[in-house]
Structure 1
Amino acid sequence: MNATTDAPRAALDARILAATTERLGISPVQVVHSTGSTNADLIDAIVRGQAAHLSSLTCEYQSAGKGRLEREWQVPEGAALTVSIAINPNPALPIPALSWYTMLAALAWCQAIETQTDLTASVKWPNDVLLGSRKVCGILAQLASSTTGPALVVGTGMNVDQERAELPVATATSLRLASGQRISRSELLASYLSAFHGLDAAFRAVAGDAGAGLAAYGGKSLRELVAAKLATLGHWVRIEYPDGTSLEAQALNVAADGALEVQDAQGGQHRVLAGDVQHVRRSDGQYA
């Protein structure tokens, strides 16, 4: 890590990324200067049969990226990490296991942040990474049709070098703001790819069973690893549905399929699926 300076933002270092992917035995990272959406480009590559499992695409500037619920996401050039990774479930994973990859990616980002900084990261269910109560990363997983069947693209936008005025909302932060230091985007991305690769390999080794112990992680399951990082658990949350209705309940656990298990004030138990809700926010007004 380097102390914060006024030096220009460094471009991604292809040598660092190449050394990482060679060590992991996966396809080299495709680095482009700018694109509309890394997710859209990688989905197109999957459709054309040109993306292998764990193929990845990153860019210096993304002009038309979208998050969950079609929210637009743009940042200054060189200030963030925008990266998409292809997941081919065949033959190791059942299709339902793909629902875990949003949180698998969030967990990988937590590991990468904690490798490259002194910060502690956590996960806001279902698709954000937090530093304290502020969002530092958003994740969007999208299905695609490959030549061998369904596939998945997991896209993320990590705030790395933004100043406060460059962030879209008051509830966001960047690694530079949180740490007081300028972080190498290349080293951070290399750490994320390594963490993602390790979690993916362990998950595939247990055939996508989120409740099965992972040998490389002390016998803890993916579900346990995610739950240990979920800032949402234990808090009262307000769940907002697309039809305008809402539910206030306490977040208790994450289910075997990745659903959030909650209990309302009357003791009623509910399962909340990410695809069925518009927002999940803490009732005390905190973002986490």
Structure 2
Amino acid sequence: MTAPPGSRPPLDPDALATGLVPLGLTLELVATTASTNALAAEHVRAGASPGLVVVAEEQTGGRGRLDRRWETPPGTAAVYSCVLAPEVPAASWPWLPLLTGLATARTLRRHGVDGGVKWPNDVLVDDRKISGILVERVDGPRGPVAVVGVGVNADLREDELPVPTATSVGLVTGRPVDRTALLVGLLTDLVAAHEDWVAVGGADRLRAAYARECVTVGRQVRVALPGEQELRGLARTVDATGRLVVRTDDGQDVAVAAGDVVHVRPRPAATPPSAGFLG
């Protein structure tokens, strides 16, 4: 399905559902919702099984990290929440948003967008945000699951961007965006990344791949920490638990598990795509 310039056709529910069948996923497509993550969480608490995917044409009150809002006007974004039950130790679950970022960046490359992951939960193109990720643990009757929420700016015009530092697939490529195909690709790569991560049984390969593609590593950063504290220094790497390791001006390495990261200066050199995980 190729859209003519300027048009924004709705998602194709039949093609979307058919694309999810080989992945073992089930689709709930809604016209509008406040938050796909919140709706998926409601279903989990009511007994829904892992593999449920909630997709919305319009999201009016989506949530990002630090309770930021993520609104998506109809026809402009690819927004989904997928329920997963990772068979890995709970201590490894913080890798999920990082893994999801890698999978999202891989899909976008196939759609003509060369993006990189920003720790811990964004995909950027030339320092402009094209995708945001929010992963939440939800306890249901079947036990704890992860609700993996992803929003990609698909067909937003320049005057529709929420902030000047955002961009969209259509703006980058200059072409109409098939949001149905984009969503199937996003979920295909998410499932493949999740299965690879679980099968490997550890984060070493994922860690190496993430460090190669993370546009935060190698840059001077400012990290806003809980409690109105701030950390400044060089983002050196990501450790075995997915934390960002920042070397401060006094030479101390500090591992950050959560924080709002601002890139202070450009990365010194481009990073090639990973050749291992998600290959």
Aligned twin of 2:52: 55
- Offset of residue 194 of structure 1: 0.8
SS in 2 for 1:143: strand
Looking at structure 1, the residues matched to 61 and 175 of structure 2 have their Cα atoms a distance apart, in angstroms, of 28
Q: Does 1:122 align with 2:121?
A: no
Q: Report the Cα distance in structure 2 between the residues aligned to 1:262 and 1:202, rounded to whole angstroms.
A: 28
Give the superposed CA RMSD.
1.7
- Equivalent residue for 1:283, pick from 264, 268, 275: 264
CA distances 1:179-208 after superposition (whole Å, capped 9, x unpaired): 11111111111111110111111111133x
Moved over 2 A (4+): 1-4, 242-245
Number of residue pairs the alignment of both structures matches? 267
Select 1:142's aligned residue among 122, 125, 136: 136
Give, in whole Å, the separation in 2 of the partners of 1:231 and 1:175: 19
Query: Is 1:168 aligned to residue 167 of structure 2?
Result: no
Matches within 5 A, 1:1-288: 5-7=5-7, 9-24=8-23, 26-50=24-48, 52-89=49-86, 92-117=87-112, 119-207=113-201, 209-211=202-204, 221-274=205-258, 277=259, 279-284=260-265
The residue number in structure 2 matching 1:218 is none
Distance across 1 between alignment mates of 2:2 and 2:214: 29
Q: TM-score, normalised by structure 2?
A: 0.91
TM-score computed with the length of structure 1 as normaliser: 0.88
The one-letter code sitting in structure 2 at the alignment partner of 1:268 is Q
**Matches of 2:110 and 2:264, distance apart in 1:** 32
**Is contact 2:236–2:245 with CA below 8 Å preserved after alignment?**
yes
Higher deviation after alignment, 163-172 or 9-18 = 9-18
Question: What is the CA–CA distance in structure 2 between the aligned matches of 1:232 and 1:14, rounded to whole Å?
Answer: 37
Conserved in 2, the CA contact under 8 Å of 1:43 and 1:153? yes
- Cα deviation for residue 4 of structure 1 reads 6.5
Alpha-carbon distance in 2 for matches of 1:258, 1:185: 30
Deviation of residue 245 (structure 1)?
2.5
Gaps of 5+ in 2: 268-279
Unaligned runs of 5+ in 1: 212-220
Q: Identity percentage over the alignment?
A: 34
